[in-house]
Amino acid sequence: MRFSLKPDFERSMERYEAFWAREVIDRPPVAISLPRGARAGSAKTYASPREQWLDVDFRAEQAAIELANRRYLGDAMPITYPNFGRSSSAPCAAAG
């Protein structure tokens, strides 16, 4: 499998799998992610916080832009953390 943002994905996964098996292939996994330059993206204004958090298309587009504007060195993987607002962690913590 080949990813455009992580061409050496298979080799990195081998290192991670070896790490969790308490083995070493050629070296332990090392993950370094750096910005490529100035932060890109577009600002958008919303009529309400609800409208802002529910604009999934814009949020996905911004995540793709942020991923593409980073360098993934060593075994760093291009990942994103979706943020669904301040109450998104409450169900995970079984809080009411």
Alpha carbons 31 and 76: distance in angstroms, whole number: 4
pLDDT reading at 88 higher than 70: no
pLDDT at res. 73: 96
Write a three-state SS string for 5-42: CCCCHHHHHHHHHHHHCCCCCCCCCCEEEEECCCCCCC
Tokens standing for residue 83: 């943020």
pLDDT reading at 86 higher than 60: yes
pLDDT band, residue 54 (cuts 50/70/90): confident
Cross-strand bridge partners of residue 71: 34
Do 41 and 84 form a contact (C-beta atoms < 8 A)? no
CA distances from residue 28 to 16, 21, 74 in whole angstroms, order as listed: 8, 12, 10
Q: Express each pLDDT in 21-40 by its tens digit.
A: 999 999 999 999 999 887 76
Q: What is the pTM of this model?
A: 0.71
